[in-house]
Structure 1
């Protein structure tokens, strides 16, 4: 199978690229800078707790999406705010039968597409201003996916896997299609658990429950998952944020298959892991706060549900992100005028 991983040098994209390539697929990764050079020279390396030596994979590495040919499957493994800049190039390599698997955290741009009801085809402005992505990408190409593994980039072209192998997938209309079965089998052959879900949106909310709480809390406190879940104050804040989000999700018809305490307990079991947002903050990269939290607040406005805890944490994290970016990625922030 010919697979293109956009963001293939990143933590999740690189993990997928290594495993899929080692399973015999023809994998092309789109990367930039030092990461692109490292992959072109040495391939991709994956470090796991299960293997004594790094796993290596030879993949094709390109800088431009349009140099990736015509893949059968595109895995879109970039942050939500990085989708719009690449959407036209991505559309250029897609055919009517190309399977696009977006792997962004948070509420995706396609959330209301093929969703019956009063909000069908509603544009989620926080992650898709003006509906540009929704208009450019045919929803018939999209196969929904939720990303559970914890990984991080140890060095250019070197990915460290912390835990987890689950990538549940699902059609936007809830059907169990032949292509979903094919992708599920493809992922299984590469060592992943990729069950087909008839309600992928419910799984999105279950994952988002953690991302929208633990990620910004970790950025604000520099705490790891275990610590956040064990400290009474941060645990209580996470619980209140989750309760607000659950009210919104249920208003949109979502059923939460676990309760809040079990979701917090699951995050605690991950241990002393830095969230992706904290990793981004320490590296001076932009935070995906809009996709993880701003989008939920937007859905709260749509459904007329108040979000006091979510909005407070969003405001604080947003200001933190803006100050870090204004300081060229420095965590030793100078006094920022206006705040």
Structure 2
């Protein structure tokens, strides 16, 4: 089984080492000092008290690798949009593309139902780039739960967790998802199949869409955002707006708002990924986490005053700091599925 990890960062690198140990034929797309270190010394994973080193093909040019059975896209959503055309050499007739990103995915409405069939989320796929180049029929949806970090070029540290959610956009139990799950299990990872992966996408997004921007705007850690009366109330109201949107389009939420917020509070003094990105001057992943939810709210004619306010503040903060990506101008509600 040939698996290319497109984006061998903290999560992608972790997956690559574990899949390689499980017997998969793994290759990597990486760049910069990280790529050079992998080429020279292999990819090192610090797992519990072990140091695991795996050697595998690594390049910045997908043309060197050829068609794959699976391409795991382990980039942030805006990065995946930028490199969609670059993935083409990896795509054979039966290649599956696993979208291992946070937030609402660009393929969300594929196979969902007749009323909004194949509506295309412009906030995460402006101009339908991924839809047209990759194609939603290739997609396997995924949710990612492990926490990992790059400690230095070529070195990944595992912090906790090994669970991944998997599911077909059309809700089928496909052979390709089963084979991928078997490869993950062989690598001591823990895949879980969902009849509708969108439900798990919403559960993970539910906290990210409020805790990340509030944390980035205030500098507060997760425990503070989730327990301070003001920010907790703001987060709760944003989550309730998001729940109404998800349910409008058929999603179900297996936990309630208070339990989700309390769970976040128990994580402790965690600096959210968006806060870390702001601290390090990296582009923030705002559109997949929040703009996309606003877009779906408008499509479903659901008012989102709390989401709108926090999004406007976070966008302005990102623009001022030069951390918010500029996409082509689009009118999300008018951009229906165009051929």
> What TM-score, normalized to structure 2?
0.91
Aligned to 1:20: 19
Aligned to 1:336: none
Whole-angstrom distance in 1 between the partners of 2:6 and 2:230: 39
1:96–1:141 CA contact under 8 A, matched in 2 = no
What pairs up with 1:143-182 in 2 under 5 angstroms?
143-182=140-179
1:94 pairs with 77, 91, 94, which one? 91
Could you list the runs of 5+ residues in structure 2 that have no partner in the other structure? 325-339
Distance 1:148 1:39, change over 3 A: same
Give the drift of 1:309.
1.0
Whole-angstrom distance in 2 between the partners of 1:269 and 1:185: 32
1:170–1:199 CA contact under 8 A, matched in 2 = yes
Give the structure with the higher percent strand. Answer: 2
Aligned to 2:231: 234
Superposed CA deviations along residues 148-174 of structure 1, whole A, max 9, x for unmatched, are 222222222222222221111001110
Give the drift of 1:27.
1.3
Aligned to 1:47: 46
1:313 pairs with 310, 319, 333, which one? 310
1:281 pairs with 278, 285, 292, which one? 278
In the alignment of these two chains, the number of paired residues is 324
Q: Which moved more, 1:214-223 or 1:197-206?
A: 214-223
Q: CA RMSD in A?
A: 1.6
Whole-angstrom distance in 2 between the partners of 1:326 and 1:215: 14
Give the drift of 1:326.
7.3
Aligned to 2:333: none
Give the drift of 1:226.
2.4
Q: Secondary structure at the match of 1:97?
A: strand
Aligned to 1:7: 7
Aligned to 1:129: 126
Whole-angstrom distance in 2 between the partners of 1:230 and 1:211: 16
Distance 1:100 1:326, change over 3 A: closer
> What TM-score, normalized to structure 1?
0.91
Superposed CA deviations along residues 117-164 of structure 1, whole A, max 9, x for unmatched, are 211100101011121211222222111111122222222222222222
Whole-angstrom distance in 2 between the partners of 1:163 and 1:175: 30
Q: Which has the higher contact order (CA 8 A, sep 6+)?
A: 2
Aligned to 1:34: 33
Aligned to 1:262: 259
What pairs up with 1:197-276 in 2 under 5 angstroms?
197-276=194-273
Aligned to 1:333: none
Q: Secondary structure at the match of 1:167?
A: strand
Q: Secondary structure at the match of 1:107?
A: coil
Could you list the runs of 5+ residues in structure 1 that have no partner in the other structure? 328-339
Superposed CA deviations along residues 214-249 of structure 1, whole A, max 9, x for unmatched, are 111121122222232222222221111100100111
Distance 1:135 1:326, change over 3 A: closer
Aligned to 2:334: none
